[in-house]
Every structure is written in structure tokens, then in C-alpha cells.
Amino acid sequence: MIPILASPAPLFTEPLTVIAVLASVLAGVFALSSVEKLEPLFKFAPPVIWAYFIPMMLTTFGVTPSSSPVYEWMSAYLLPFSLFLLMITVDIRAILRLGPRALLMMLIGTLGIVIGAPIAFFLFGGFFSDPVAWKGFAALSGSWIGGTANMVFIKEYVSTPDSTLAPLLVVDVVAGYGWMGILIFLSAYQQQFDRWVGASRGVIDKLQQQLEEIATDRVPITLGKFVIILGLGLGATLAAEALGARLPELGEPTVISAGTWTILVVVTAGLLLSFTPARELEKDGASRIGYAALYLLLTSIGASADLAAVLDAPLYLVAGIVWLAVHVTLLFGAAIVSKSPLFFVATGSMANVGGAASAPIVAGVYVPSLAPVGLLMGVAGYILGVYVTMFCAEALRYVHTVLM
């Protein structure tokens, strides 16, 4: 046993105090990320990563508890609240205007993640000491098909233990952002790649014109609009939970529980409302409030993680690299066949692996004026991921039973 990993009595245990500590950590992370001298650090490891790892270290050193009722409360309410606000702000029409090649690359990237997960787990699953390692892979599939919100959703869907999730988050950072670095490096060779596959740059020029039609005006949020957004999100959360509790659980063992129904209801309702004037709340910052709730939830996941599980990370990392290799192979194969520009390959890949946070960064490196394309593709991958990751999780569950 490594002495530093011993579990000292936590300094803070009272629920409200624990929330205050986690909220303070999140505030500190974002405050530091706005410091110009620290910009390179947060470009390499975005605030969302620190929002997980700092609370994990606080628990390791006995500041916060590894188990608390407040963590369960945050999971039960903050996740559907954040998902609802993110969904009502989605512009489905703008996503569809991205064109067939952009959406094709995103979908092929998603397929690569879904196929790569059971392949990697089949090859390495028998060597993991954790008997439910497949649940960690399922959670990572959520992160790699749309981002953090999907990871949290699928974690709840398969009941992934926090100790099982910890090494997969290491894989998410090392493999995921390592691949992001490779994509940024390849941006210098995009013209050579496009000529090699016979891709037309005219597609990108047309897309740039289409983006001029997308309104992104935002206004400072007023107290009234903040109250409306907060009330709408909390009301939708409570209504979805009430409906989810009344719907029948499916599967034996349970595949779709009351909690899963709650998420599916709140996501579907949010998407339907995105076609109504409710989507105008994005101008007042509805999605930013949703992300704030999501990141606060992530701090609670970090605080309940077991640092000792990170010791298994090397084997998990190899499995993650194999997993990403399947994703990359399918993407480049599809690009060659469809004659798609490298821009769409890179952005479609990060729309999955990095989500809406990283995809705009990569898109902006390739074509600075088209950074919004990355955001839209990331949102599209996020919407798709809510549903697709459940299928991926069931495939992993099946492989796990085969290996048993």
C-alpha cells in the first residue's frame, strides 16, 4: 500500500460545506484559466480536466470525503438540469446546413468509437484486475462520443463505480488530447492531403458562406432571464424525474432504469423545445448555465474517485490507443473514398473525442474563420451520443459476459 493513498478522515463532511468547497475549486479553476500567463497551461489541459483532478486530490489528501449524500444529489439533479438547458439551445437547422461530408465524417467517427470499444475491450478485458472494467469503458465511450455530459450520463446508465472510472479518465486525457495534438500537427499538411484524395476546397468555401447566416448574438443576462432559465431547467428536471419514476424498468438485469428514463425524457423534451422560441434563451446564456451545472457535477465525480485505481492506467492506456486506432482508420478510409478534406476529418474526429469544447479549437487551427463548424459538429455528436452510447455500453456488456 502506498502511504499517500491512505484514507485520512476528511476535513469537511457537512453537505453544504462540501458543495461550497467544490464550487470554490471550480471558480478558482476558471479564474486561473483567464490569466493570460497561464493560457498555455489551460490550452493543454482545459478547465474541465482540472475540475475533475483537483477534487480527486482533495479527497486523496483528506479535505473532502470520498462518499457523501451531496454527490448523489448532484448526480440526480444537476445532470438532467444541464442536459435540458444544453438541448433547448441546439440549432438543429444550422447543424444540417453543415453539408453531407461534414456530417458523414462525424458519423464515421462515431461508428469508429462504437466499434473500437468492444474490440479494445475484447483484446485487453481479460487482463484488468477490475471485475467491472467494462463499465469504465462504457463511460469513456460517452466522453468520446460528444463529451463530458455524455460520459456522466453513461456512467449513471451502467452504474460505473468511481474507482473504475478513474483510470479511464487518465486515458481520456492522455490518449484523447494526444490525438488532438496530432490533428493540430497534421493541419500543416492539409493541402497536400486534400490534393492526394482529390478533395475540393470549394466545399469549405461554401460552408463559410453558410455560416454567415447563423446568428450567434448574445446579450448580457438579466435577473429576469436568469430566473426564467433556472426555473425552466429545474421544472423540466422535476417533471422528467416524476415521469421517469412512473415508466417501467426494462431489461433483466435492468438496462433502462428510472434514472435512464429521466435522462431520455429530459433530452428529448429539450430537443423538441429547441424548435420553439425557447431556443432564444441561448442569447441570454442558457447553455453557459447548463455547462456550469455540468462542471460542478464533474467536481463531485472527481471528489469521489479512488486515486489508487490510476495505478492500472498503463494497460488501460494501451487499450485506449487501440480503440482510437479503429476510430482513426475508419475516418481516413472514409475520407479517401468520399474525397473529403482533412478539415472535415479532423473536426469530425474531435467532435466525437473532444466534444464541443475541443472541436472548435481544432477547426480554428485548420481554418480560423470556421471554428464555429467545430462547435456545431461537437453539438451534433453530443446529441447523437446520448442515444448511441447506450448501444456501445450494451456491446461492452456483451463482450464482458463472453470473457467471463
pLDDT of residue 310: 57
pLDDT of residue 27: 95
Does residue 13 belong to any structural domain of this protein?
no
Does residue 44 belong to any structural domain of this protein?
no
How far is Cα 234 from Cα 231, in angstroms, rounded to an integer?
5
Q: Regarding predicted confidence, which is higher, 127 or 180?
A: 127
* Res. 135: pLDDT tops 90: yes
Does residue 335 belong to any structural domain of this protein?
yes
What is the span of the domain harbouring residue 83? 73-290+300-403
Question: 31 burial class (0-12, 13-18, 19+ CB within 10 angstroms)?
Answer: exposed
Mean pLDDT (whole number) for 76-102: 79
Q: pLDDT band at 230, cuts 50/70/90?
A: very high
Does residue 130 belong to any structural domain of this protein?
yes
* Res. 382: pLDDT tops 90: no
Q: pLDDT band at 138, cuts 50/70/90?
A: very high
pLDDT tens by residue, 34-55: 888 888 787 767 787 788 789 8
Mean pLDDT (whole number) for 292-301: 85
pLDDT of residue 319: 93
pLDDT of residue 49: 74
* Res. 244: pLDDT tops 60: yes
Does residue 49 belong to any structural domain of this protein?
no
Show the cell assigned to 296. Answer: 460542478
What are the C-alpha distances in Å from 117 to residues 113, 146, 155, 193, 345?
A: 6, 15, 15, 28, 20
pLDDT of residue 30: 92
Does residue 193 belong to any structural domain of this protein?
yes
How far is Cα 76 from Cα 84, in angstroms, rounded to an integer?
13
How far is Cα 137 from Cα 325, in angstroms, rounded to an integer?
15
Question: 171 burial class (0-12, 13-18, 19+ CB within 10 angstroms)?
Answer: buried
pLDDT of residue 5: 45
How far is Cα 214 from Cα 26, in angstroms, rounded to an integer?
31
Which residue type sits at 380?
A
84-93, 121-130, 382-391: which has the highest mean pLDDT?
Answer: 121-130
Q: Are 378 and 359 in contact (CB under 8 A)?
A: yes
Does residue 330 belong to any structural domain of this protein?
yes
Q: Regarding predicted confidence, which is higher, 351 or 100?
A: 351
User: How many domains, the chain?
Assistant: 1
pLDDT of residue 229: 93
Does residue 92 belong to any structural domain of this protein?
yes
pLDDT of residue 333: 94
Max alpha carbon distance in the chain (Å)? 63
Mean pLDDT (whole number) for 300-324: 78
pLDDT of residue 3: 38
* Res. 306: pLDDT tops 80: no
Mean pLDDT (whole number) for 103-109: 88
Q: pLDDT band at 206, cuts 50/70/90?
A: low
Q: Which pTM value belongs to this model?
A: 0.69
* Res. 9: pLDDT tops 90: no
| Average pLDDT over all residues of the chain | 82
